[in-house]
A = this chain, B = another copy of it.
Amino acid sequence: MAWEKDVLLVHNEAGARGFLRDLEGGEPVFVCVIGNTETAKIPGISAAGRNPELTDYTPAADVELLLYGECRCIDGVPVTPEGIPTPALITRAALTLADIPVFVVNGGVRVKPLAPFIDVAGNPGADIRTGRAVEGVARVIERAEIAGASFAKAVDYLVVGESIPGGTTTALGVLLAMGVNARGLVSSSMPVNPHELKVRVVEEGLRAAGVKPGDLSGDPVAAVSAVGDPMIAAFAGFVMGAASSKPVVMAGGTQMTAVLSVIKGLKPEVLDNVAIGTTRWIAQDRSSDVRRLVSQIWDVPVVAANLDFSGSQIEGLRAYESGVVKEGVGAGGVTVAATLKTDGKVACDDVRRKVEEEYGRLITMRLQQHSTRIHAT
Contacts and interface: CB of A to CB of B under 8 A. Distances in A.
Nearest to A117: B119
A298 interface: no
A147 B116 CA distance: 6
A101 to B, nearest CB: 4
Interface in A122-154: 143-144, 146-147, 149-151, 153-154
B115 A116 contact: no
Chain copies in the assembled complex: 2
A18 to B, nearest CB: 24
A117 B116 CA distance: 10
A278 to B, nearest CB: 24
A120 interface: yes
A27 B143 CA distance: 24
A120 B112 CA distance: 11
A29 interface: yes
Contacts of A154: 27, 29, 101, 154-155
B144 A101 contact: no
A112 B151 CA distance: 21
Nearest to A67: B146
Interface residues of A, number: 28
A115 B121 CA distance: 8
Interface string A80-96: 00000000000000000
A119 B119 CA distance: 6
A271 to B, nearest CB: 22
Contacts of A67: 146
Contact of A116 (B27, B100, B120): B120
Contacts of A99: 153
A135 to B, nearest CB: 16
Contacts of A187: none
Contacts of A27: 154
Contacts of A155: 154-155
Identify which of A27, A116, A120 gathers the most chain B CB atoms within 10 Å of its CB: A116
B102 A150 contact: yes
Contacts of A149: 101
A117 B104 CA distance: 11
A118 interface: yes
Contact of A103 (B101, B106, B121, B150): B150
Nearest to A106: B119
Interface in A18-36: 27, 29
A118 B117 CA distance: 5
Interface string A146-174: 11011101110000000000000000000
Contacts of A114: 121
Interface of A: 27, 29, 67, 99-103, 106, 112, 114-121, 143-144, 146-147, 149-151, 153-155
Given A29-B154, A67-B146, A103-B147, 10 more contacts: A99-B153, A100-B153, A102-B150, A106-B119, A114-B121, A116-B144, A117-B119, A118-B119, A154-B155, A155-B155
5 contacts: A101-B149, A101-B154, A103-B150, A117-B119, A118-B118
